[in-house]
């Protein structure tokens, strides 16, 4: 909601609906004071919050990153690409465009659960309604993106990836029948007929138990094709790879938001930025005792370079990785990369990274 200022009266009523307007406004002043202190708003250039006597607005031009905004930007880039290609239906375009599907993969990697999970203010129906609408929007957009990704990979005969994207749809919405069909198709086309038929049974069961209905005629036709062995793979897209003159995907910035502002150590920060921008410096290690601020320094320098790497800046948390094999899995998970069956995972990931210009911050790599 950073596109417009919000009045203090409206915000106070939204957050403290059960108190008087005067008390709610006092609460808001105190909250804004603490928030300005936590953000070091008065020193930030430009400031994060634009506050006057009557309104409050988040400054979209400030030095920040928000996963929800990045998610929206990836979808907007797909819509823009669709318009430039003269395709009226963006979803239909995305299923046939490798570059847009790469954008979608980045977007869904940002979706880790419902929007603002755990946020609830008792007695504020207006805020509850706003949260519900935003949560439903992100949920729906994620499901649609997953469907388009599954359709794209099925068309490219990447059945394992198609299965993964369809499976995630079912995990998010077990009643999504079109996702069950994508699972059935991916399994059947991959030669797993018995598993595809078992997926139909799972679809039938959940629809009957939850809704009291049977699968649609489209699903019944699909299961007959699988049983009879007449299911055929779709024709591959004529342009499976992004075209050279396509719109460039905006860089992704996947950095955690620090709890407190970064202060001092400007010389070290500047030196680190210089080394990170040096093409000859492919690996930089920050050494120091635990708690001295290595991670904060790395994040601060990386935040200064968000536009310098065409394929983004990525933070990979490794504190829970106990074996070296887990490093590959953690990297792939952060990047939204899916392994193909039959190949060695490390080599697949390295081949993927060789084609990209990205900054990877590996935290707790020791």
User: pLDDT tens digits for 17-36?
Assistant: 999 999 999 999 999 999 99
Rounded mean pLDDT, 204-210: 96
Positions of CATH 1.25.40.10 in the chain? 67-228
Other CB atoms within a 10 A radius of the CB of residue 340 amount to 11
Burial call 243-266: b when 16+ CB within 10 Å, e when fewer: eeebbebbbbbbbeeeeeebeeee
* CA dist., res. 316 & res. 312, Å (int): 13
Looking from the CA of 277 toward its CB, the CA atoms found within 13 Å total 13
* CA dist., res. 62 & res. 307, Å (int): 14
- Strand 49-51 and strand 55-58: the pairing is antiparallel
- Strand 313-317 and strand 55-58: the pairing is unpaired
Q: What is the chain's Cα-based Rg?
A: 24
Q: How does the average pLDDT of the chain come out, rounded?
A: 85
Helix (H) or strand (E) holding 7: strand 6-7
DSSP class of 213: -
Q: Which of 7, 6, 1, 16 is nearest to 121 (CA)?
A: 16
Superfamily of domain 67-228: Tetratricopeptide repeat domain (1.25.40.10)
Confidence of residue 245 (pLDDT cuts 50, 70, 90): very low
Rounded mean pLDDT, 254-270: 70
Average the pLDDT over each of 178-182, 266-270, 303-307, 317-321 and give the range with the smallest value: 303-307
Rounded mean pLDDT, 41-59: 92
The predicted model scores a pTM of 0.65
User: pLDDT tens digits for 293-338?
Assistant: 888 888 888 887 766 776 778 888 887 787 777 888 888 877 777 7
- Which runs of consecutive H residues, i.e. helices, occur in the chain? 8-15, 21-39, 67-84, 90-94, 98-109, 125-155, 159-172, 177-189, 193-211, 217-228, 266-277, 294-303, 325-335, 345-354
* CA dist., res. 197 & res. 184, Å (int): 7
Residue 250: its pLDDT value, please? 43
Looking from the CA of 357 toward its CB, the CA atoms found within 13 Å total 14
Confidence of residue 240 (pLDDT cuts 50, 70, 90): very low
User: pLDDT tens digits for 117-150?
Assistant: 888 777 888 888 989 999 999 999 999 999 999 9
């Amino acid at each position: 909601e950073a596109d417009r200022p919000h009045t203090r009266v409206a915000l106070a009523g939204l957050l403290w609906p059960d108190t008087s307007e005067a008390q709610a406004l006092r609460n808001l002043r105190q909250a804004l004071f603490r928030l300005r202190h936590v953000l070091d708003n008065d020193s930030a250039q430009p400031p994060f919050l634009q506050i006057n006597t009557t309104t409050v607005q988040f400054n979209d031009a400030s030095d920040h990153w928000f996963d929800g905004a990045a998610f929206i930007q990836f979808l907007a880039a797909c819509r823009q690409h669709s318009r430039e290609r003269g395709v009226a239906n963006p979803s239909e375009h995305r299923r046939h465009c490798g570059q847009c599907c790469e954008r979608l993969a980045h977007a869904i990697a940002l979706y880790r659960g419902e929007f603002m999970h755990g946020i609830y203010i008792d007695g504020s129906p207006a805020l509850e309604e706003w949260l519900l609408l935003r949560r439903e929007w992100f949920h729906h957009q994620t499901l649609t993106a997953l469907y388009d990704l599954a359709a794209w990979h099925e068309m490219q005969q990447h059945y394992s990836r198609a299965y993964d994207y369809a499976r995630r749809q079912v995990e998010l919405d077990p009643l999504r029948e079109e996702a069950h069909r994508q699972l059935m198709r991916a399994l059947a086309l991959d030669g797993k007929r018995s598993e595809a038929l078992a997926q139909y049974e799972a679809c039938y069961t959940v629809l009957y138990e939850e809704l009291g209905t049977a699968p649609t005629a489209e699903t019944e036709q699909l299961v007959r094709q699988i049983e009879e062995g007449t299911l055929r793979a779709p024709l591959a897209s004529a342009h499976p790879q992004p075209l050279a003159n396509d719109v460039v995907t905006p860089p992704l910035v996947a950095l955690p938001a620090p709890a407190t502002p970064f202060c001092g150590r400007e010389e070290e920060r500047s030196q680190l930025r210089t080394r990170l921008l040096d093409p000859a410096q492919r690996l930089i290690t920050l050494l120091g005792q635990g708690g001295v601020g290595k991670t904060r320094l790395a994040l601060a320098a990386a935040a200064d370079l968000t536009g310098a790497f065409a394929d983004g800046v990525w933070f990979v948390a490794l504190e829970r990785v106990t074996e070296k094999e887990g490093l590959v899995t953690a990297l792939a998970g952060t990047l939204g990369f899916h392994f193909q069956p039959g190949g060695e995972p490390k080599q697949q990931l390295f081949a993927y990274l060789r084609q990209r210009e990205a900054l990877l911050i590996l935290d707790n790599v020791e």
